[in-house]
Amino acid sequence: MRLAALMASPEVMVDAIGPDAENPEPQYLMAARHSVFARLSMQFPLYRDLYNLVRESNPLMFKLGPDARDWLSKWKKPIVQQVRANPACGCDQVATSYISNAEMAKEICANTCQNLGGWAGGWSNQYPAAPLARAVCACKACGI
């Protein structure tokens, strides 16, 4: 029982999936503990986004079979191309300049999205949709 508690402790989990001397970036694996997300979020904002995904949805666990790596290698490029060519809601692109209101968004987003299928009409200057002190425009296609 003590071994299980030690293995699931925040310290061990952060050490296991967080950065190390050879890899400055964490593995970005989904943590099962709120405290692990909290600790990793302090240094890596993407963990805050991952935690929000987990809290705001109904995630399901699944196991990939032994051939999963081969399947993913074979299909990665076509899947990425298809998703980027036909995004469900467009792709957020960092705007060419800060947007503070809808009137400004019209011109700035038209310029930002001109080579990405045009502007889909959405924009934000709020984190996490936009990087801090920046704005994003919802373009109709994704950049590669």
pLDDT digits (tens, 9 = 90+) for 75-105: 988 887 877 666 555 688 999 999 999 999 9
**Would you say residue 112 lies in a domain?**
yes
Tell me, yes or no, if the pTM score tops 0.75: no
Q: What is the pLDDT of residue 87?
A: 58
| Residues 102/94/131/86 CA torsion (nearest 10 deg) | 100
Closest to 50 measured CA to CA, from 17, 86, 24: 17
Average pLDDT on 129-138 reads 88
For residue 86, being part of any structural domain is answered with yes
In a domain, 63, yes or no: no
pLDDT, tens only, 12-50? 888 888 888 888 888 888 887 888 888 888 888 888 888
Whether 86 and 135 map to the same domain: the answer is yes
Going from the C-alpha of 97 to that of each of 15, 30, 32, 50, the distances in angstroms are 39, 34, 38, 27
| Residue 105 covered by a domain | yes
Q: How many domains does the chain have?
A: 2
Question: Looking at the domain assignment, is residue 73 inside a domain?
Answer: no
Q: Which of 56, 74, 91 is the last residue of a domain?
A: 56
Structural domain including 27 reads: 7-56
Residue at token pair 């508690």: 5
